[in-house]
Amino acid sequence: MATALITGASNGIGLELAKVHASKGGNLVLVARNKAKLDELKAELEKQYKISVYTIGKDLSAPQAAQEVYDETTKQNIKIDYLINNAGFGDFGMFAETDWNKELQMINLNITTLTHFTKLYLKDMVSRRSGKIMNVASTAAFQSGPTMAVYYATKAFVLSFSEAVDNEVSDKGVTVTTLCPGATESGFQAAAAMEESALVKGKKLPTSKEVAEYGYKAMIKGKTVAIHGFMNYLMANSVRFTPRALVVKITRKIQDKAK
């Protein structure tokens, strides 16, 4: 069975993706800042599924983080069959008032580290002519997002980049899937300080488990873009036929704090 490397695996969608892969009998490399939580998950999954789990505690917003993880898996002689770039975070607020250091970390994690991981492990996959990559974007990737300007822009990068690379390797035995969830019960909203947003306040959101199961199936099938939820699919595709200025206004209305 394939070995999957999952970033941001200590909670939310990443944690559930780890459980899904383990349930199929696959080994894991789990990467996140909180190694203690990863080690708890390691013990749970190894006991339940009789698989092997290797954990790496790493701040993935640091410039050389992807290279350091790659070097460690190489040193441990762990062949990565599936790369799942799940780690990422957002921030809520007017760009003129938000914290630049937090946004720089966001850009480093959501864009730079994801791109570097893809570069490093893709080369190995292409040389073997087998492998799967899943980059987690968001329905935010399909339009710009006032009050979360940098986050939406990072996810637009992930979608555009991943689609292009998937096309480049389509004849090389490798697939690149972009998972685009909508708002999800994952702890993301609390981290982004957006619990009061009309997008999530009072809404029944899909669970991280539901999104993870959907995304994992899409990756196995080699689907290029996987948008979770029928309404999310409709909304993501409808923006192509709507004037951009109107889309931005609608997004702002949805994102603003619930009255």
Report the largest interatomic distance among the alpha carbons of the chain, rounded to a whole angstrom: 54
151 is an active site residue: yes
The DSSP output letter for 109 is: I
Kindly list the distances between the CA atom of residue 252 and the CA atoms of 47, 144, 194, 197, 247, in Å, as whole numbers in the listed order. Answer: 46, 9, 13, 10, 9
Provide, for the chain, the percentages of residues in helix, strand and coil under a 3-state DSSP scheme, each rounded to the nearest 5.
50, 15, 35
Report the run of H or E that residue 189 belongs to, with start and end. Answer: helix 188-191
Instruction: Choose the catalytic residue: 151, 152, 214, 216.
Output: 151
Q: How far apart are CA 51 and CA 31, in angstroms?
A: 17
Residue 54: active-site member: no
From the list 58, 132, 155, 209, the catalytic residue is 155
Q: Which of 165, 167, 156 is nearest to 116 (CA)?
A: 165
18, HSE (Cβ side, Cα atoms, 13 Å): 34
What is the rounded CA–CA span in Å between residue 40 and residue 77? 23
Question: Could you give phi then psi for residue 164, rounded to 5 degrees?
Answer: -65, -45
Active-site amino acid positions: 151, 155
